[in-house]
Structure 1
Amino acid sequence: MTVTFRTLAGASLVVALMGTASAQTTITVATVNNGDMIRMQRLTPEFNALHPDIKVNWVTLEENVLRQRVTTDIASRGGQYDVLTIGNYEVPIWAKQGWLMPLENLGADYDQADLLPQVAQGLTVDGKLHAVPFYAESSMLMYRTDLLEKAGLKMPENPDWDFIAEAAQKMTDKGAGIYGICLRGKAGWGENMAFLTSMNNSMGGRWFDMEWKPQFNAPEWKKTLDTYLNLMKEYGPPGASSNGFNENLALFQTGKCGMWIDATVAASFISDPKESQVADKVGFAPAPVRKGGSNHGNWLWSWNLAIPATTSKAEAAKTFVAWATSPAYTKLVAEKDGIANVPPGTRTSLYKNPDYLKVAPFAEMTLTAIESADTQKPSDLEVPYTGGQFVAIPEFQAIGTSVGQQFSAALAGKATADQALAAAQALTTREMTRAGYPKK
């Protein structure tokens, strides 16, 4: 700030007043409307107290909308956002395009070496992190212990899909508003296709053969979709074609689901008596396998904070990203909401913390699922791609969503399983041919 005084002789005297106020930098953070991200927003005043010179503007979006908006913005170099919430699908693809800033020197207390190796590896390109994990997850089976006992069943150590069908049937009481199973039905490559791709992996299937030919006409996909539709139409909730992660979470927390196969991150929300009506009646098991098989189809996903190369506020953005994914943030959540609610799946130290293990009965199973997820060989068959619940190629985002729409339509009764599979085969073949696969 400067002030100008006029002297008696008519000359100007300019005096700089230092330290009266510091300019505030506003960063815009695009994030998903999941519980952990909502908590991060609620704790933003704690960040403001440490960094009063940085103001955080939040753009919170439903998962499918978030993916569309940030993809469009970064590909067009729109520059609307300074921090992006993106998955381990986008990070290596976007980093290779030069769209993301490498994240180095995050602070002496950040402890980058503490990040789970399986998670950090998926965010590292050319030896540098291009995003940092806010939370990471695999998949698991969550179930009502009281309903299973009432059904006269005991959860196997490694449940298969035949057991799931039997348990879903016996746990369903539609008159009481209880449905044996809740699974994702909302269309999207990261919504219903995350689940169905993983389920198909567990059935021994794959998206593409070694020549990049789509495999929706193979018996594994037929088995996958038939099993899924039968489960959901017989024992699932009404309107399931509109249900994604958040909708199924709400159904489970209010006691309307007997079983739910989904992200391990849900475990703390359904076990929290402040949020879940069935917190004391929850059990956990590995994601199902096909009878006689061993591939659980468990995925590996992380929601991560990244900084687009287009930002003009890189230092402020990096300060926020480092805070939100640091050990200090983990400690803050533990103090405010209890250690069972800290963002899971990112730091080795969390799974060695006896206080966490004592209150998080899902901790060991979460870590096992993350560590055993084989993203390099997701199917028992040979595949030309990597990924778990996705195919790690740029074209998958559009193709996966289009296929998801076909399968969601089948769940809604607008197409048969055979019609949906035929449409998926045709559209995927067309788009992969247009994209020039197989690529050398």
Structure 2
Amino acid sequence: MTFKYLTAQGLIGGLIFSAAALTSAQAATQVTIATVNNPDMVTMQKMTPAFEKTHPQIKLNWVTLPENELRQKVTTDIASNAGQYDAVMLSNYEAPIWAKNGWLVPFDNLPDSYHADDLLESVKQGLTVKDKLYALPFYAESSITYYRTDLFKKAGLSMPEQPSYDQIETFAAKLNDPKNHTYGICLRGLPGWGENMAFFSTMVNTYGGRWFDMSWKPQLTSDAWKQAATQYKKLLTQYGPPGVTSNGFTESETLFANGQCGMWIDSTVAAGYLSDPENSKVAESTGFAQAPVAKTENGSSWLYSWALAVPKSSKKQDAAKAFVEWATSQDYIQLVADKRGWVAVPPGTRHSTYDSAEYQKAAPFAGLVEKAIASADPKHPTAEPVPYTGIQFVDIPPFQAIGTRTGQIMAGILAGQTSVEQGLNQAQAFTKRMMMQSGYPKK
């Protein structure tokens, strides 16, 4: 093959590359982002061209993983200072802990155009340490009850604004129709502190339970834990879909969207997805109610945010911060609204979203979601006093291991590998051992 060279240009295989273009491409900074594979994050990835158009000096490289795998890989990378990721998706559990460890870069010079005062205060506080934001919220959520209005009408049922778990059981029994692949209820069964335990912890709370007493003694063998675990097992083994221990948030969302669940208690963030006919076969028949209660409203619905942060181990912090600020901005929300409709915007982070007439019109659930987020109180998550903050998690480093192991035990209870009592005894022993190894109670 023969090559001819021109001044400032090279004719190679019939393609002409300008020297300026080559220089520009070489100068572009590649930012690697680790994110969970939830629908809102998939939408964010699809918006890459819009970001790169306004930031031509930055190229985005995506690593998209299931939630449990994301947590494991990102935690290992940041703790070891490996620097594989320049921006990471994390939650209001990790953000304060990692910030205190010195693992994250603070967002202490946000431009006025970011409108930080527009962020919902409870969400912002969950990502703040000593008055500094260490992550910016991409979306925030509480938990609510989704239900099929058509199936309720057919069965002569009426969903109250806030059902009890006894009512949920009655509804599930009447709606369950496995022969037609429609199940009374879908719930998370996939083990993980951020998967099945996110939901199950709210059941424990509303049955009057807690993870620890004020002396940091584990309470996993209490009557409240036993009652919650018994109800959880009954709902899923009698009225849930098969293979429930493989169903996390994403799998449950897909089941409901495909019309296979009569009810689903989970994150408010799914409301937009389920209301979009492009995604959901039941968009016109999806109803919304508050998360159920049993004995107390304390901790019956969670408060959680997925946020973006920049690790200190990143060698491209400025470019990564530019991306994070863009992806959590009012402009990004407007971009999604323009491209995919207001119902698809990431919810729960900004007053301006809920003040928008367009959003209120497109999202009939907006008021209910805003109320659920506002009513969740991480500082008073249980009926009895506790030494920790957090509704569906405990804000201490050992909880990640404790929650993950307890989630595995709960999955074993669902699968019939162990009884409720035996499983909770195992979880209690593991939790007690982990707390002692971690130096609790602190002196």
TM value normalised by structure 1: 0.94
Q: Is residue 318 of structure 1 aligned with residue 321 of structure 2?
A: yes
Tell whether the 8 Å contact from 1:286 to 1:296 is kept in structure 2 after alignment.
Answer: no
Alignment correspondent of 1:78: 82
The answer to whether the 8 A contact 2:89-2:308 is kept is yes
The residue that corresponds to 1:369 in the other structure is 372
Secondary structure of 1:180's match? coil
1:342-388 deviations in Å (ceiling 9; x for gaps):
00000001111111111101111111111111100100011111101
Are residue 120 (structure 1) and residue 106 (structure 2) matched? Answer: no
Q: How does 1:21-420 map to 2 (within 5 A)?
A: 21-22=23-24, 23-291=27-295, 293-295=296-298, 297-420=300-423
Distance (Å, rounded) in 2 between the aligned partners of 1:48 and 1:107? 20
State the 1:157 CA deviation: 2.1
394, 418, 422: which is aligned to 2:425? 422
Q: Deviations over 1:90-119 (max 9, x none)?
A: 011010111100113333321111000010
Distance (whole Å) between structure 2 residues aligned to residue 187 and residue 294 of structure 1: 25
Offset at residue 277 of structure 1 (A)? 0.4
Q: Secondary structure at the match of 2:113?
A: coil
Q: Larger deviation: 139-148 or 412-421?
A: 412-421
* Corresponding residue SS for 1:392: coil
Look up the equivalent residue of 1:57 and give its one-letter code: N
**In the alignment, residue 388 of structure 1 is paired with which amino acid?**
I
Aligned residues: 423
SS at match of 1:257: coil
SS in 2 for 1:318: helix
Question: Deviation of residue 120 (structure 1)?
Answer: 0.4
Aligned to 2:10: none
2: distance between equivalents of 1:257 and 1:158?
A: 19
1:8 equivalent in structure 2: none
| CA shift digits 1:96-150 (9 cap, x unpaired) | 1111001133333211110000100111111111000000000000000111112
Distance 1:367 1:165 in 2: 26
Q: Which runs of 4+ in 1 moved over 2 A?
A: 17-22, 104-108, 293-296
Tell me, what secondary structure is at the counterpart of 1:361? coil
Range that drifts further, 373-382 or 99-108: 99-108
User: 1:206, 1:215 within 8 Å by CA — same for their partners in 2?
Assistant: yes
CA contact (8 A) 1:151 1:167 kept: no
149 and 304 in structure 1: CA distance in 2 versus 1, 3 angstrom threshold: same
Q: 1:254 to 1:263 in 2, by over 3 A?
A: same
Once residues 385 and 296 of structure 1 are traced to their aligned partners in structure 2, the CA distance between those partners, rounded to angstroms, is: 13
The corresponding residue for 1:7 is none
Moved more, 104-113 or 408-417: 104-113
Contact 2:299 2:382 in 1 (8 A): no
Q: TM-score, normalised by structure 2?
A: 0.94
- Cα offsets for 1:251-309 (capped at 9, x unmatched): 00110000000000011111110110010001000000015x33351111100000001
Change (3 A) 1:220 1:331: same
- Which string of whole-angstrom CA distances, capped at 9 and with x for unpartnered residues, describes residues 393-415 of structure 1? 00000110001000001111111
Aligned to 1:4: none
SS in 2 for 1:30: strand
- Identify the range of structure 1 (225-234 vs 412-421) with the bigger mean alpha-carbon deviation: 412-421
The 1-side partners of 2:279 and 2:400 are apart by 33
Q: Structure 2: where are the runs of 5+ without partners?
A: 1-18
Residues 167, 180 of structure 1: 8 Å contact kept:
yes
Unaligned runs of 5+ in 1: 1-16
Offset at 1:437?
1.0
| Aligned match of 1:435 | 438
In structure 2, C-alpha distance between the alignment counterparts of 1:145 and 1:325, rounded to whole Å: 34
Other structure's SS at 2:60 match: strand
C-alpha deviation, 1:324, in angstroms: 0.5
Structure-2 residue corresponding to 1:6: none
Once residues 403 and 20 of structure 2 are traced to their aligned partners in structure 1, the CA distance between those partners, rounded to angstroms, is 56
Q: Counterpart amino acid of 1:26?
A: Q
By how many angstroms is 1:318 displaced? 0.9
8 Å CA contact 1:298–1:369 kept in 2: the answer is yes
SS, match of residue 23 in structure 2: coil
Q: Which amino acid aligns with 1:217?
A: T
Q: Report the secondary structure of 1:185's partner residue.
A: coil
1:191-244 Cα offsets, whole Å, 9 max, x none, are 000011111111111001111111111100000000000011110000001110
The structural deviation recorded for 1:65 is 0.3
The one-letter code matched in structure 1 to 2:441 is: P
